[in-house]
């Protein structure tokens, strides 16, 4: 295999990125632009992991200033994606900015009113923090404002909502599809059906990865396998990564009744007070989800990603999570109760960390290995931020304290909350 790859130019370093999803596609382009010869090594085919199974919502409404700034960077990148990736004229946008709406119910509607009241208080405080972090477009809306903008929402049941019109959702297949196309234009190579099975170390560093299609040497290695990352880290002699693969399901609700196709297509990504969410897939279907308690599955197989257990399947009568998700959404949006039903169920794995922030940093044991994983259900939106962090880590080394973002590089985001050796505090609250 090694001989099938063109040798790097004299003096040119080679970066080997493991896993061919959104993270590698975007990171690969930046590293290639910085002079690396980039080789992506993938166990199956491009998009074989979560990147092709994602709700791909994107928001800047996060719970810490660093993540808000990182996500402002991501939204700006995706707004200009076609320019960055030199897409063909007329190619579709990857970012649909329908906005992102978090609903907060009147506390007395719930069994735990104090918790709901506190959540709404914290949401309003977060809006202040988000605005102070540069997110000017975010706002807290009163129920009447929600009703006026989104007439399908049962506004009288609300205490209020938070709203950001520049958020929305992505077309993830286009993100990695166009990303890998651009990477190949920049001289990068993508080696598919080549699972990494082992490593060659020399002088305390990683010299090469062994794959089912041969050994691939490199100077820098990036573990971009997200839910598989702990296993791949072990294969490479790296650290134990606190990343838990957890199954999540997506449901497709078929439009019927009073809601028009035009209204449905204009839906923002909407989150109910108890965390169920939906966004338009097209004018006739809403994509929906609702996180449930689930045990980690550290040994999951690729095939398990598409396995839909009866308890979560729309095919299993009325007593299942699919119908419960639909009904939960209809509580806040009564017109959804007129829908024809749930027409499909899909699944995939989140890669959860204890605080729901990703792991972005050098391995403490293998000095030329960077991990970019543990996205906890946010890796599509965090892709451009992640790519920028890896690029700057590659240039500066492990001591880099902060990543610099913005057109002038004048926005600094502290990397401490993403380091592998951080002590995990309270989880990011803004997780669905
Ligand atoms: C149901 C669901 C809903 C989601 N919703 C959202 C959302 O709304 N917004 C958002 O931003 N994110 C969301 N996510 C998360 C997001 O999809 C992921 O975080 C993101 O796609 C991760 O991309 P990645 O490139 O890091 O990893 P992946 O796309 O998972 O790619 C990892 C790759 O590594 C490969 N691999 C594994 N082992 C090896 C090996 N030994 N050798 C070589 N290759 C290997 C795999 O085959 C895979 O292709 C969701 C995920 C799911 C499952």
Give yes or no for residue 349 CB within 6 A of ligand 1. yes
Question: Which positions ≥6 away from 389 have C-beta within 8 Å?
Answer: 360, 372, 403, 415, 418
CA-closest residue to ligand 1 atom 10 = 378
| Secondary structure (DSSP) of 258-295 | S--HHHHHTPPEEE-TTS-EEEEEETTEEEEE------
pLDDT at residue 4 in the model: 76
* Phi, psi of 219, rounded to the nearest 5 degrees: -105, -35
| Ligand 1 centroid distance, CA of 21 (Å) | 6
Give yes or no for residue 183 CB within 6 A of ligand 1. no
Give yes or no for residue 328 CB within 6 A of ligand 1. no
CA 31, CA 370: separation in Å to the nearest integer? 13
Give yes or no for residue 243 CB within 6 A of ligand 1. no
Give yes or no for residue 234 CB within 6 A of ligand 1. no
List Cα–Cα distances, 44 to 19, 172, 190, in angstroms: 9, 18, 11
pLDDT at residue 1 in the model: 53
Whether residue 197 contacts residue 213, with contact meaning beta carbons closer than 8 Å, is answered with: no
* Phi, psi of 90, rounded to the nearest 5 degrees: 85, 0
CA-closest residue to ligand 1 atom 21 = 51
| Ligand 1 centroid distance, CA of 350 (Å) | 7
pLDDT at residue 303 in the model: 98
Six-digit token string for 107? 């506390």
How many helices and strands, by DSSP H and E, does the chain display?
10, 22
CA 289, CA 359: separation in Å to the nearest integer? 25
Whether residue 58 contacts residue 71, with contact meaning beta carbons closer than 8 Å, is answered with: yes
| Ligand 1 centroid distance, CA of 415 (Å) | 22
Strand arrangement of the beta sheet that strand 196-202 belongs to:
196-202, 205-211, 214-217
Give yes or no for residue 163 CB within 6 A of ligand 1. no
CA 3, CA 117: separation in Å to the nearest integer? 63
The closest-lying atom of ligand 1 relative to the alpha carbon of residue 227 is 30
* Structure-token match 């134990």, residue found: 240
| Ligand 1 centroid distance, CA of 258 (Å) | 36
pLDDT tens digit sequence for 50-60: 999 999 999 99
The CA R_g of the chain, rounded to the nearest whole Å, is: 22
| Ligand 1 centroid distance, CA of 306 (Å) | 13
Maximum C-alpha span of the chain: 69
Whether residue 372 contacts residue 346, with contact meaning beta carbons closer than 8 Å, is answered with: no
In three state form, how does the secondary structure of 372-424 look?
A: EECCCCCHHHHHHHHHHHHHHHHHHCCCCCEEEECCCCCEEEECHHHCCCCCC
* Structure-token match 């809006």, residue found: 127
pLDDT at residue 427 in the model: 74
DSSP 430: -
DSSP 57: E
User: Average pLDDT over the chain, rounded to whole?
Assistant: 96
CA atoms within 13 A on the CB side of 97: 13
pLDDT at residue 11 in the model: 92
Pairing of strands 37-41, 189-191: parallel
Q: How many CB atoms lie within 10 A of CB 251?
A: 29
CA-closest residue to ligand 1 atom 14 = 377
Pairing of strands 158-164, 100-105: antiparallel
pLDDT at residue 317 in the model: 85
Whether residue 17 contacts residue 41, with contact meaning beta carbons closer than 8 Å, is answered with: yes
pLDDT at residue 180 in the model: 98
pLDDT at residue 179 in the model: 98
pLDDT at residue 267 in the model: 98
Pick one of 3.90.1300.10, 3.30.9.10, 3.40.190.10, 3.40.50.2300 as the CATH number of 98-165+245-350: 3.30.9.10
| Ligand 1 centroid distance, CA of 235 (Å) | 19
Q: What angle do CA 347, 95, 58 make, to 5 degrees?
A: 55
Enumerate residue ranges in the chain where pLDDT < 50.
Answer: 3
- Residues of CATH 3.50.50.60 domain(s) within the chain? 8-57+172-243+355-418
pLDDT tens digit sequence for 309-338: 999 999 888 899 999 999 999 999 999 999
- Residues of CATH 3.30.9.10 domain(s) within the chain? 98-165+245-350
pLDDT at residue 316 in the model: 83
Helix (H) or strand (E) holding 200: strand 196-202
Domain 8-57+172-243+355-418: CATH superfamily, name plus number: FAD/NAD(P)-binding domain (3.50.50.60)
């Amino acid at each position: 295999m090694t001989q099938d790859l063109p040798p790097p130019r004299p003096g040119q370093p080679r970066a080997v990125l493991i896993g061919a999803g959104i993270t590698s596609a975007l990171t690969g382009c930046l590293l290639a632009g910085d002079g690396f010869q980039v080789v992506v090594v993938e166990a199956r085919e491009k998009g074989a992991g979560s990147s092709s199974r994602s709700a791909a919502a994107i928001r800047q409404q996060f719970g810490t200033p660093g993540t808000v700034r990182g996500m402002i960077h991501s939204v700006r990148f995706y707004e200009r994606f076609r320019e960055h990736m030199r897409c063909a004229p007329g190619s579709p946008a990857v970012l649909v900015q329908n906005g992102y709406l978090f609903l907060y119910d009147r506390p007395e509607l719930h069994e735990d009113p104090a918790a709901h009241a506190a959540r709404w208080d914290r949401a309003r405080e977060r809006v202040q923090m988000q605005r102070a972090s540069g997110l000017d477009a975010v706002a807290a809306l009163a129920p009447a404002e929600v009703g006026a903008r989104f007439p399908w929402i049962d506004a009288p049941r609300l205490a209020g909502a938070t709203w950001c019109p520049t958020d929305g959702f992505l077309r993830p297949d286009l993100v990695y599809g166009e990303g890998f196309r651009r990477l190949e234009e920049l001289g990068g190579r993508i080696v598919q059906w080549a699972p990494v099975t082992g490593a060659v170390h020399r002088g305390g560093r990683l010299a090469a990865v062994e794959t089912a299609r041969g050994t691939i040497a490199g100077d820098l290695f990036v573990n971009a396998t997200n839910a598989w990352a702990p296993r791949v880290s072990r294969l490479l002699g790296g650290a134990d990564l606190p990343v838990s693969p957890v199954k999540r399901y997506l449901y497709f609700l078929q439009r019927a009744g009073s809601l028009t196709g035009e209204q449905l297509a204009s839906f923002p990504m909407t989150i109910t007070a108890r965390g169920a969410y939906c966004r338009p897939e097209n004018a006739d279907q809403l994509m929906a989800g609702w996180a449930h308690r689930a045990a980690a599955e550290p040994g999951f197989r690729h095939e398990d990603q598409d396995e839909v257990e009866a308890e979560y399947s729309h095919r299993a009568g009325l007593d299942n999570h699919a119908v419960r998700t639909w009904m939960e959404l209809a509580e806040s949006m009564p017109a959804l109760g007129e829908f024809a039903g749930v027409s499909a169920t899909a699944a995939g794995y989140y890669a959860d960390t204890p605080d729901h922030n990703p792991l972005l940093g050098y391995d403490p044991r293998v000095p030329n290995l960077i991990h970019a994983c543990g996205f906890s259900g946010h890796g599509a939106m965090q892709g451009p931020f992640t790519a920028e962090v890896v690029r700057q880590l590659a240039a500066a080394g492990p001591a880099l304290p902060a990543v610099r973002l913005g057109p002038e590089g004048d926005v600094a985001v502290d990397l401490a909350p993403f380091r592998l050796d951080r002590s995990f505090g309270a989880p990011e609250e803004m997780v669905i």
